[in-house]
């Protein structure tokens, strides 16, 4: 398959082996992927990651053991915890020391025709949300998480999409401007470039 691979050098390959789906994982055909600052850091050596880059994506499930998932348009959580350690057993999988992270640590990412993620990491995208909007779910979730874990932020804010923004910092600013208990429905604009 086609894949943008970093192995000390960044190269586009068309002979990269497709990911092997483990039990409990689905295979996703990537429709659209986003590039973020983390990707730019990885090609400077951050995390020592070698493999397929990319962790912001929208795609369609083409293979899964879970009934009903095949054919679903999805976005995905990027942390894949081991499920067995003390952190995982306490529901703190995002802190699992053995976790893999899509396109960042121990798991090939989204700049490829196909990726594999645990079924439970996948979230169906509603029909009314375009691919160009859905691809921003991961950075939006990361920005939201950074804010709700900061102590002075009340957590019961619901955000469905976000205004024309290019940067996670702008996403954070957009979320921070909401007050507790509010919901916001705002639309993603066309890229400003
Ligand atoms: Zn990112
Ligand atoms: Zn674990």
Contact, 168 vs 142, CB < 8 A? Answer: yes
Q: How far is the CA of 152 from the centre of ligand 1 (A)?
A: 24
**Ligand in closest contact with the CA of 140:** 1
**Which of 102, 127, 152 corresponds to the end of one domain?**
127
**C-alpha distances out from residue 14 to 27, 42, 127, Å:** 18, 21, 31
CA–centroid distance, residue 34 to ligand 2 (Å):
27
**Cα–Cα dist 142/98, whole Å:** 20
Give pTM, 2 decimals: 0.78
Enclosing domain of residue 59? 3-127
How many whole angstroms from 139 Cα to the centroid of ligand 1?
6
Residue 173 confidence (pLDDT): 59
Domain count of the fold of the chain: 2
User: Which of residues 127, 146, 169 is at a domain's end?
Assistant: 127
Dist. CA 89 → ligand 2 center (Å): 7
pLDDT grade for 175, boundaries at 50, 70 and 90: low
* CB 55, CB 18: distance < 8 Å: no
Is residue 113 within 8 Å of residue 164, measured between CB atoms? Answer: no
pLDDT of residue 46: 85
Tell me the ligand closest to 139's alpha carbon: 1
Ligand at minimal distance from the CA of 100 is 2
Examine the fold and report which residue of 127, 152, 171 is the final residue of a domain before the chain moves on: 127
Q: What is the C-alpha separation between 38 and 164, in angstroms, rounded? A: 21
């Amino acid at each position: 398959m086609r894949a943008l691979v970093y192995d000390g050098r960044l190269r586009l390959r068309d002979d990269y082996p497709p990911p092997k789906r483990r039990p409990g994982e689905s295979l996703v055909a990537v429709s659209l992927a986003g590039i973020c600052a983390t990707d730019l850091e990885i090609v400077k050596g951050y995390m020592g990651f070698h493999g397929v880059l990319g962790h912001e994506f929208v795609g369609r499930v083409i293979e899964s053991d879970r009934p009903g998932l095949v054919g679903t348009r999805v976005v995905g959580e990027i942390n894949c915890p081991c499920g067995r350690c003390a952190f995982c057993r306490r529901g703190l999988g995002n802190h699992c020391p053995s976790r893999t992270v899509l396109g960042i640590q121990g798991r090939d990412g989204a700049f490829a025709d196909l990726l594999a993620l645990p079924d439970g990491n996948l979230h169906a995208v509603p029909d009314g949300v375009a691919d160009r909007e859905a691809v921003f779910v991961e950075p939006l979730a990361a920005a939201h998480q950074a804010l709700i874990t900061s102590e002075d932020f009340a957590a019961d804010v619901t955000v469905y999409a976000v205004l024309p923004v290019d940067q996670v910092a702008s996403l954070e600013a957009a979320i921070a401007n909401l007050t507790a208990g509010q919901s916001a429905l705002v639309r993603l604009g066309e890229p400003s470039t």
